Structure 1
Amino acid sequence: MPYIRKPFRGFLYFCSVLLLLFLAAGAPATAQEEAADTTEAAQADVEPSWPMDSLGRRTPRSAVEGFISAVANENYDKAAEYLRLAPSLQENLDGAELARALQRLLDQNGKIYPYALISNDTNGVQDDGLGPNLDRVGEATVNGETFSLILEKTEGPDGGPVWKFSSQTVQRIPFQDEEEAFVPLVSQLSPSVLEDNKWGGVPVGHWLAILLLVVVAYLLAWGIVSLALYLIRLSWYKVREEPTAGIVKAFALPLRIYFTVWIFVVASQQVGISIIVRQRFSEITLIVGVAAVLLLVWRLLDAITQFVQRRLLHRNNMAGVSALLFLRRAAKVALVVLGVITLLDSIGFDVTTGLAALGIGGIALALGAQKTVENFVGSVTLIADQPVRVGDFCKAGDVVGTVEQIGMRSTRIRTLERTIVTIPNGELSSLKIENYAHRDRFWFHPTFGLRFETTPDQIRYLLVELRSILYAHPKVDPSPARIRFVKIGADSLNLEVFAYVNAIDFDEFLEVQEDLYLRMMDVVEASGTGFAFPSQTLYIARDQGLSKEKSEEAEEQVQKWRAANDVQIPKFTPERIQSLRNTISYPSNGSSLQKKG
């Protein structure tokens, strides 16, 4: 049952679109004639040097429309006025019979291009390689040889251009007695009552046959595409995975419509459907073909964007999803506009003026929405380059905080004071952004100022013991971990620490930094010296002086290192570094985080 319902739903969709297009094109020729009259009136306003031609032969399109309308009304004397007869043919052949013969040729083995593809300019197509006064409007086959149907521009009695089927084309039309025994297949299969009754100059059987061909063509197209998709799924394992599955699925309906049009066009010519009927449906088939291409682009756009959207949602990139949805909507609007323009152009409306108006309106809109466009481009830049993401702690200009939202127009940052700062994306994309979230290590670089009473041996002691802490601490990267005596300042002797702390976030870094500071303060106290007071500070107290015993102990330790040639200055030996690695217990003994073995 689902295999029956699915094609039936698709067929109903296809038929509804086809019906609307058929009503837009108009079954009788009156709408086309009115459009031709309107076009000719407009051209008469532009080129008033000659009056309007009574038969509507000023342009190639109106000439073909006039010929088809004349044969549809079985007015072959009028149809003959659209043929350019050489003097030799005018003497031997009747123009009306020649027009009837051209109709039979088109019914059996010929075709006329859709009206939208035929020039509606008085000068025709100038760059088709046929010359300035010739235009190709169709094809026909005689005795297995295919040739082009050519219109030729001549000069009418009033001096204006008159387009007719060229004398070379007329000469290749078969005579009546060569084709009188031929009966089209559709006429052979139709009951006599359908052949005797006509509508629009064509037997009713042809109109019914054309509707039947639509059904048959769609079913054949559905079967071909379904079989092809089944074989692809059977032989190609990647078609079951995204995004390949979505792309293959997107091709199904457009290909079904396209094959329907192709089968319909070929079959209608092969069974001998009248050129009058086929020409009425030619514009519809052209529109449906263009609609199939636009539908394919639409479905591919949906398939690809849905796949990318799922990936962005998986990564929790909501800003990317917003940009993707906006771009998808913009692309779909552009497709709709393109489809409407193509539809209007196909049914004979002049869209040049409308496009010019849209261009002027687009410029005005672009000027008015300059900031909006700038912010949108900035948001696309932020999403593509990703200098910051939602949740990152960063500094943008003079704003420091955590990114909470990246929208299509602006980005919101929550500052350290818990306020929200909104920055337009156009401005943010041009700022210098410092992202703290992506750093792998934290820089630990304090400078210790020692009192001037500190002796050199005490400094040596501190250089060794403080650096030992860096090498021994499990959270400090040993390379490059160093402590150097860098400066004799105005009020202190300065030791500079340079090291990197391995921490996953800033809170952990603060914990490790606190531990390092406390350990280093213990070492400074154990060395017998102390931190210097700034000279600008007036310190009123009884000076306790320096500990003589601790100073002697430090000096004695340095003497022992000297005697053993073990002073680890200016740098530690690899063996010493290795012996010190991870010898410090962290967290410190007594901490609530210290686990008991």
Structure 2
Amino acid sequence: MPLDLRRIPLLLLILGLCAALPRHSAAQDGWPGDWQTYWSAGEAFVLLEQRGEAVYGTYQPGDGRITGTTQDGVLRGTWQEAGESGDFVFVLAQDGQSFAGRFGSGDWWNGHRAGIAQQQRPAWWSGATPQATLRSILAAGNDAQYHAREGQVRWIEPLLAYDGPESDSSDHDRRRRALWHILDISTFRLWDAPVPAAEADPGTELHFEIGPAGSGTTYQLIFRLDDAGLWRLVVPPGPILQADLARLIRARGHETLDALEKARAGSPRMVMMDFILGSKDWDGAGGVRALRALDLDHVPRQLRRAEGALMADYLKRSIDRIGYVVWQEIPDDPARPLPYPYYRHPLGEITIAPTDIRDDEGRPVERLWRFSRDTMEALPALYEALERMPLAPGLSAPPPLSQYFATRQAVLEWSGWLQRRALGLEVWQWIGLAGYLLAMALTLALAWRAVRTLGSGSGVLATVVAQLAGPAGLLLAALLFLDASERFGLTLRAFGPVSALSAVLLILAMAALAYRTVSLVFGALMVQAARTSAYTDEIVLSLAQGLLKLLVILGALIACADVVGLPYEGVLTGLGIGGVAVAFAARETVANIIGGAILLSDRPFRKGDMIEAAGTLAVIETVGLRSTRLRTLDDTLMIMPNAQLSDQVISNWGSRRRRKVKMQIQLTYDTPRDRLARFVERLKEIYHKQPDADTDNVTIGITSLGPQSIDIELWGHFKVFTYDAQVTAQQALILDILALAEEIGVAFAFPTHTVHLARPTPETGQDATA
């Protein structure tokens, strides 16, 4: 069968997709690594290696061994521990991160990949003294429980000595967990752990009392020296440990361990944990957790993320130089009456103190432990004093959390002399600040030049440049200033208001740009609307433009108030929305805005309509947010507030479907009857021949005999919409009427008076006047 060349691209695409897909067996053959495993009666940490299809390893506790073979992700083999053994089968999940398993006896045995433990013995691991043993157990346990490095549990087992009869690994696991809970809910200082004599014999025991903070109840730790010179922590039988654990929990006023864990969530220890653990995930949920541990109430809300990153950098780097943090040395009692001073120095303290969170009325609603405000203010000086101190053993330099430390770290790697201090700032800060100020000046200069050159012409481009170049340049300069304040740490020492000022400038620049953009956009829309006869276009655009500009101004003022720490209520009061006196002053403005909305919804007129309101005839020019502009017939500009106009009886002459025409034609009394009748008939014909006449509703006839004339009334309508068209139509009709009168030979009457003079009568001797 010949090959269809048209199918070659399709075949190549299919082959490419198949090559890109992961192979099933390759994804499943990933047994090497550290595994946290568990079954119905216990758990163990398993370390596996693989060569070909052979898999082998060990697990703790119990010093157990595993051997087996794998095929297509299924591991079958045996386990051995203290003379016991059995079969198992493990099935690796598709993602290679977990497995499902089963003992030969039928019990389940599952697991997942654990945090990678140190393969070699850690530098901090030691059993040379009871203090060293306790420190090693706490370091490994805290690493496993709080830092998600479960594999570190392996370094605890060699430091434990199990009392009582021989038991299996499940019993060891339960006892080890109970002992860990006792250690974890207690508060003590490692420095107080017992110091052995210079020459201690194997079997020597030393005791150390610990207990929950604020409870007055203690538990006695027992350390025993083994034949190899290693001080091991004695693990009593399970029932004794469980009874002691329950006793300590009740001493804290709780019945269960879970209830105790929830109760101590707001303690100094948890604050330290929230900060240190949260700072490791600063860009994720951990950042919120770490910021919550810092008292930043004095910092405006909008600046707390940037300021918090800087304070967190100072605090974390200082703590890492003070020493390795052992959680159990920090009290976990939320009801502790006094602040907890973690570190003291002549330049300041690192203190975890309770603070009251208050509602809008100033009443305390919640009590939180946080690193105090005094600590936040002292951190720059403390870090400067600690900067040359090496990191605590086992710690590595943390990545920078703020722009300041990221920039500083990069600069100092390039040249150390830039770290020298001058006039309150380091040399590199002064250099960088000068560069940013120069860039800001150039930005403003370019914006000004663009306005003067490009914006001075005509056309769309000139209009856009004239409107937006200035605010855009100001916005770019504000962004540079804000970036400089964060990157160079200008919020420290004497530069406290700098960050707020930079944020305010940024808000004002954005508001100016938005205000100009609204004017520009609506100006273009108004030009387009003027070309149409649609009713709502220009009025809606006018009202919308005013409303948007008002919202831009209000938003900018509220944002500025938020940045500088002013309450919203004060800003709203200052704007006339709150406060009795100012509210009365602003009620007319609000009424006019509402009046404009009423005019928009009722639609009583359109732009260019002639209306009669308040006894005045005028043409609508513009409907604004506060008032309406009208042009009277004598070309006088009249501005009427929307609230007044919306309350008026408005007669819209521009909305008439037809224009009424009413004429009274007066003929003289000497007009013969036949001519009068013919004039009326011909008048009807002339009216019906008018192109704009409405012939369906017209009345023409003799209505009365007036004092000086015979009155003929013409009452009808013209199908025109404007006043100019009405005048034109009436003019044509009147000219036709004058021509008709001349044709028939009738005369129009006009007001006249006839005076008759008589001769004197013999009887009176006076003239008689009629």
Which TM-score bucket, shorter chain as reference? Answer: 0.3 to 0.5
Normalised to the residue count of structure 2, the TM-score between the two structures is 0.34
| Pair member with larger Rg | 2
Normalised to the residue count of structure 1, the TM-score between the two structures is 0.42
User: Which structure shows the bigger proportion of residues in helix conformation?
Assistant: 1
